[in-house]
Structure 1
């Protein structure tokens, strides 16, 4: 543990001693308030617990960080639920295509998954792809990239839409080198 981490740990221990409350109890108090902004939480702790600015600031930061990790864990469950909903019923046979695509894209590096009603948006600094069931027999991969010559497989879309290109995928085997080259180009251009 480095000296900064040790200092933070010591400060949190001191906060618990001064307030007579555990971190879990303090976090529960913050959650119960419904406040989510750092400054609001800071003022709550100073007002309701009589904390000094430094301790209130540390506790607010630590709470928001731990709550962010909890939110990230919840987001994974929410994303899984959203994906399962996309591929429910008649579209259930398309889920293996989606999973194959996501596994291949995950190897490119970090990105955010933002589930929507009919697709999932994949983002870095900006959206680079959209994946969702277009019909009960095909998954559509929308791609944002410029300067690529369309082909019979890589279809150019009209200007002003959410993506510049799309590729229809009807079998997991179609998640091949050609498709991944286009996805990599979109991924790289997003961020």
Structure 2
């Protein structure tokens, strides 16, 4: 379990007086068929925020990344049908890991989270033809290949889209390094 999840679980108990295991029992007793039904129930009936409702929903269905023992399987699933984008991921990760020994690589179901004390980037095969780098660069104006993400509750503030390993330039590595350096 990573530190972010541990903190959420501690706060879940502090905020509700119930442990994750107790909430999972409550949710399973309702026999919900869909993730969205669980979210609605927890938000409307128990005043959960989206983050806590999502955590309980994922854990109760066993569909979160933390419920998977082999993290390599998560990455393999991400690139199923998008195998041509995997070398791009591999090259980026190799470059990113050179920034420092304090990087946590945390594969999820749809992307890979990169963290220091906090998340600084995500790597994701977004579509069959587009690879997306999400970056946390709060306050940075979009410029060049760096696009702002202006959606509420976005996990990142900016993104860079790529389609091929040849698209990885020093500019991209510099943006990744800047996000890494801010994540203290």
* Equivalent position of 1:104 in the other structure: 95
TM-score, normalised to structure 1's length?
0.57
1:134 corresponds in structure 2 to 126
Runs of 4+ that moved beyond 3 A: none
Specify which of 167, 173, 179 is matched with residue 160 of structure 2.
Answer: 167
For 1:133 and 1:99, locate their aligned partners in 2 and report how far apart those are by CA, in whole Å. Answer: 12
Task: Work out the CA distance in 1 between the residues paired with 2:144 and 2:178.
Answer: 18
Matches within 5 A, 1:116-127: 116-127=108-119
**Quick check: 1:146 aligned with 2:138?**
yes
- The structure 2 residue matched to 1:176, chosen from 146, 165, 169, is 169
- Deviation of 1:78 after TM superposition, in Å, equals 2.3
62, 65, 78: which one aligns with 2:70: 78
Shift of 1:147: 2.9
Q: 1:117 and 1:188 mapped to 2: Cα distance?
A: 26
Cα deviations by residue, 1:67-124 (Å, 9 ceiling, x for unpaired): xxxxxxxxxx823221111101x21111011101101101111211111111010010
Deviation at 1:151, TM superposition (A): 2.4
Asked whether the equivalents of residues 79 and 113 of structure 1 are also in contact (C-alpha less than 8 Å), the reply is no
Please say which structure displays the higher CA radius of gyration: 1
When you count helix as a share of all residues, which structure comes out higher? Answer: 1
Q: 2 CA distance for matches of 1:174 and 1:78?
A: 30
Distance 1:147 1:174 in 2: 25
- Where structure 2 has 5 or more consecutive residues not aligned to the other structure, the ranges are 1-68
Aligned residues: 114
Query: Aligned partners of 1:166, 1:128: CA distance in 2, in Å?
Result: 12
